A and B are shown apart, each in its own frame.
Chain A
Amino acid sequence: MASSLHSNHTQICPNPTALNGGSASDGKSQISKKPRLYADPPPLFTPSDIISEFSHHDPAVARINNGSFGCCPSLVLSAQNQLQLQWLRQPDNFYFNQLQPKIIQSRTIIKDIINADHVDEVSIVDNATTAAAIVLQQIAWGFAEGKFCRGDAAVMLHYAYGAVKKSVEAYVTRVGGYVIEVPLPFPVSSVDEIVKEFRQALRRGKENGRKVRLAVIDHVTSMPTVVIPVKELVTICREEGVDQVFVDAAHGIGCVDVDMKQIGADFYASNLHKWFFCPPSVAFLYCKKSTNNSDLHHPVVSHEYGNGLAIESSWIGTRDYSSYLVVPKVLEFINRFEGGIEGIKKRNHEYVVEMGQMLVKAWGTHLGCPPEMCSSMVMVGLPACLGISSDHDALELRSFLRDKFGVEVPIYYRPPKDGEEGGVVTGYARISYQVYNKVEDYYKFRDAINQLVDSAFTCASLPIS
Chain B
Amino acid sequence: MQHDDPRNGESTHRSSKKPKISSQFITESDIRDEFSHHHPRVARINNGSFGSCPGSVLAAQRHWQLQFLRQPDAFYFNSLRDGITASRKIIKDLINADHVDEVSLVDNATTAAAIVLQRIGRSFAEGKFQKNDTVLMLHCAYEAVKKSIQAYVTRAGGSVIEVRLPFPVNSEVEIISELKKSIDEGKSNGRRIRLAIIDHITSMPSVVIPVKELVRICRAEGIEQVFVDAAHAIGSVKVDVKEVGADFYVSNLHKWFFCPPSVAFLYCNKSTTSSDLHHPVVSHEYGNGLPIESAWTGTRDYSSQLVVPAVLEFVNRFEGGIEGIMKRNHDQVVKMGKMLAESWGTNLGSPPEMSAAMIMVGLPSRLCLNSEKDALKLRSHLRDCYEVEVPIFHQVPKDGEEGVRDKDGFITGYVRISHQVYNTLEDYEKLRDAINQLVEDGKTCKMLFKE
Residue of A at shortest CB range from B261?
Answer: A320
- In angstroms, Cα B111 to Cα A68, docked, is 26
Residue in B111, B118, B151, B156 whose beta carbon sits within 8 Å of that of A317 in the complex: B111
Residues of B within 8 A of A273 (CB): 299
- Asked whether B389 lies within 8 Å of A319 as measured between CB atoms, the reply is no
Whether a CB of chain A sits under 8 angstroms from the CB of B119 is no
Q: How far is the CB of A311 from chain B (nearest CB, A)?
A: 12
Which of A58, A77, A87 lies in contact with B261, CB distance below 8 A? A87
Contacts of A70 in B (CB 8 A): 299
Which of B12-20, B166-174, B206-214, B275-283 interfaces with chain A? B275-283
Q: Within the complex, which residue of A57, A162, A279, A301 is in contact with B70, where a contact is CB–CB below 8 Å?
A: A57
**B179: min CB distance to chain A, Å:** 24
Is there an interface contact between B66 and A56, defined as CB atoms closer than 8 Å? yes
Provide the residues of chain B in CB contact with A376, threshold 8 Å. none
B151 contacts A281, CB within 8 Å? no
- A402:B74 contact, CB within 8 angstroms: yes
CA distance A297 to B389 in the complex (A): 32
A12 at the binding interface (Cβ < 8 Å)? no
Cβ proximity bits A15-37 to B, threshold 8 Å, 1 near / 0 not:
00000000000000000000000
A316→B297 CA distance, assembly (Å): 15
Of B37-45, B320-328, B341-349, the one contacting chain A is: B37-45
**Contact call B69/A318, Cβ cutoff below 8 A:** no
In the bound assembly, the distance between CA atoms of A302 and B118 in angstroms comes to 14
Give the Cβ gap from A414 to chain B, nearest Cβ, in Å.
19
Q: Residue B108 contacts which of A91, A126, A319, A408 (CB distance < 8 angstroms)?
A: A319
CA distance A137 to B53 in the complex (A): 35
Q: Within the complex, which residue of B71, B107, B152 is in contact with A316, where a contact is CB–CB below 8 Å?
A: B107
Q: How far is the CB of B136 from chain A (nearest CB, A)?
A: 18
Q: Is A271 touching B282 in the complex (CB atoms < 8 A)?
A: no
Residues of A within 8 A of B113 (CB): 301
| Residues from 36 to 68 in A contacting B, C-beta threshold 8 Å | 56-58, 61, 63, 65, 68
Contact mask for chain B residues 43-78; partner A; CB cutoff 8 A; 1 contact, 0 none: 010100111010000100000001011111110110
Decide: A170 near B282, CB < 8 A? Known: A56-B70, A280-B299, A303-B144. yes
**Segment at the B interface, from A92-100, A285-293, A340-348, A440-448:** A92-100
Q: Which of chain B's residues have a CB closer than 8 A to the CB of A68?
A: 72-73, 76, 299
**B300, A127: Cβ atoms closer than 8 Å:** yes
Q: Are A88 and B38 interface neighbours, CB within 8 A?
A: yes
**Stretch in contact with the other chain, from A128-136, A178-186, A235-243:** A128-136
Bound: A299/B147 CA distance, A = 11
Cβ of B434 to closest chain A Cβ, rounded Å: 16
Indicate which residue in B73, B107, B110, B299 contacts A402 across the interface (CB closer than 8 Å): B73
**A408 contact from B66, B71, B147, B383, Cβ within 8 A:** B71
- Establish whether residues A166 and B284, one from each chain, have CB atoms under 8 Å apart when the complex forms: yes
Q: How close is A299's CB to chain B, nearest CB, in angstroms?
A: 3
Q: Do the beta carbons of A301 and B254 come within 8 Å of each other? A: no
B362 CB within 8 Å of chain A = no
Residues of A within 8 A of B117 (CB): 301
B325 to chain A, nearest CB (A): 19
Q: Is B424 an interface position by the 8 A CB rule?
A: no
Q: Which residues of A contact B44 (CB under 8 A)?
A: 90
Chain B hits for A69, CB < 8 A:
68, 72-73, 76, 299
State whether the Cβ of B222 lies closer than 8 Å to any Cβ in chain A.
no
B71/A61 in contact, CB under 8 A: yes
Whether the pair A281, B53 counts as a contact (CB closer than 8 A) is no
Asked if A277 CB lies within 8 Å of chain B CBs, one says no
Contacts of A281 in B (CB 8 A): 298-301
Which residue of the partner chain B has the closest CB to A94?
A: B50
Question: CB of B251 within 8 A of chain A?
Answer: no
**Chain B, residue nearest A399 (CB):** B77
A133 to B156, CA, bound (A): 18
Contact indicator B151/A305 (Cβ below 8 Å):
yes
State A128–B282 Cα separation when bound (angstroms): 11
User: Bound complex: CA of A279 vs CA of B301, how far in Å?
Assistant: 9
Please tell me the size bucket of the interface on A: 35 or more
Contact B144 A133 (CB under 8 A): no
Cβ-based interface call for A175 (8 A): yes
Contact B108 A163 (CB under 8 A): no
- Would B143 and A303 count as touching, CB distance under 8 A? yes
In the docked arrangement, what's the CA distance between A126 and B301, Å?
A: 10
Tell me which residues across on chain B come within 8 A of A77, comparing CB atoms.
69
Given A302-B144, A318-B108, A408-B71, A88–B281 Cβ distance below 8 Å?
Answer: no
Kindly identify which residue among A85, A130, A305, A399 contacts B297, using a CB–CB cutoff of 8 Å.
A130
Q: What is the CA–CA distance of A150 and B298 in the complex, to the nearest angstrom? A: 30
- Does B280 contact A299, Cβ atoms closer than 8 Å? yes
For B304, the chain A residues whose CB sits under 8 A away are: 320
Given A87-B261, A88-B37, A319-B261; A302-B110 close (CB under 8 Å)? yes
* Contact A163 B282, CB 8 Å, known A56-B66, A77-B69, A301-B151: yes
Q: Is A144 an interface residue (CB 8 A)?
A: yes
State A57–B109 Cα separation when bound (angstroms). Answer: 34
Please state if B286 and A126 are interface contacts (CB–CB under 8 Å).
no
A167 touches B282 (CB 8 A): yes
Q: Is the CB of A91 within 8 A of B50?
A: yes
Whether, in the assembled complex, B262 has its beta carbon less than 8 Å from a beta carbon of chain A, the answer is: yes
Given contacts A56-B66, A93-B389, A169-B286, contact A301 B261 (CB under 8 A): no
Verify if B148 is at the interface (C-beta below 8 Å from A): yes
- Tell me whether A127 and B298 are in contact in the complex, defined as CB-CB below 8 angstroms, given that A399-B77, A408-B74 are known contacts: yes
Q: Which chain A residue shows the least CB distance to B287?
A: A166
A93-B72 contact in complex given A85-B37, A280-B300, C-beta closer than 8 Å? no
| Cα-based distance from A92 to B151 in the complex (angstroms) | 27
Q: Are B39 and A90 in contact (CB under 8 A)?
A: yes
Evaluate contact between B284 and A163: CB separation under 8 angstroms: yes
Note all chain A residues with C-beta closer than 8 A to B70: 56-58
* Given A305-B150, A317-B109, residue A95 in contact with residue B297 (CB < 8 A): no
Of B148, B262, B284, B298, which one neighbours A130 at CB under 8 angstroms? B298
Give B155 Cβ to nearest chain A Cβ, in Å.
Answer: 8
A88-B58 contact in complex given A130-B281, A166-B284, C-beta closer than 8 Å: yes
Is A300 in the interface zone, CB < 8 Å from B? yes
Q: Is B252 an interface residue (CB 8 A)?
A: yes
Give chain A residues whose Cβ lies under 8 Å from the Cβ of B301.
Answer: 279-281, 320, 323
Chain A residues with Cβ below 8 Å from B252 are: 318
CB distance from A52 to the nearest CB of B (A): 15
**Complex-state Cα separation, A443 to B34, whole angstroms:** 47
Asked if B310 CB lies within 8 Å of chain A CBs, one says: no
Taking a contact as CB atoms under 8 Å apart, the answer to whether A58 and B49 are in contact is no
Q: Does A413 contact B (CB under 8 A)?
A: no
Residues from chain B with a CB closer than 8 A to the CB of A95 are 49-50
Please measure, in the bound complex, the distance between the C-alpha atom of A72 and the C-alpha atom of B383, giving whole angstroms: 35
**Which residues of chain B have C-beta atoms less than 8 A from A92's C-beta?**
46, 49-50, 383, 389
B-side contacts of A320, CB under 8 Å: 260-262, 301, 304
Q: Is A246 at the interface (CB under 8 A from chain B)?
A: no
Evaluate contact between B151 and A408: CB separation under 8 angstroms: no
Question: Is A300 within 8 A of B300, CB to CB?
Answer: no
- Cα(A130)–Cα(B297), bound, Å: 8
The 8 lowest CB-CB distance pairs between A and B, nearest first, are A129-B298, A317-B110, A299-B280, A69-B72, A91-B50, A162-B284, A317-B108, A305-B147
Q: List 7 additional A-B contacts (Cβ < 8 Å) besides A56-B69, A297-B151.
A: A58-B71, A69-B72, A92-B46, A93-B383, A126-B297, A167-B282, A271-B299
23 A-B residue pairs with Cβ-Cβ distance under 8 Å, sorted by A, are A58-B70, A68-B73, A69-B76, A85-B37, A88-B53, A89-B37, A89-B38, A91-B50, A92-B46, A92-B50, A129-B298, A130-B297, A136-B282, A137-B280, A141-B155, A166-B282, A167-B282, A301-B147, A303-B143, A318-B254, A319-B262, A320-B260, A402-B77
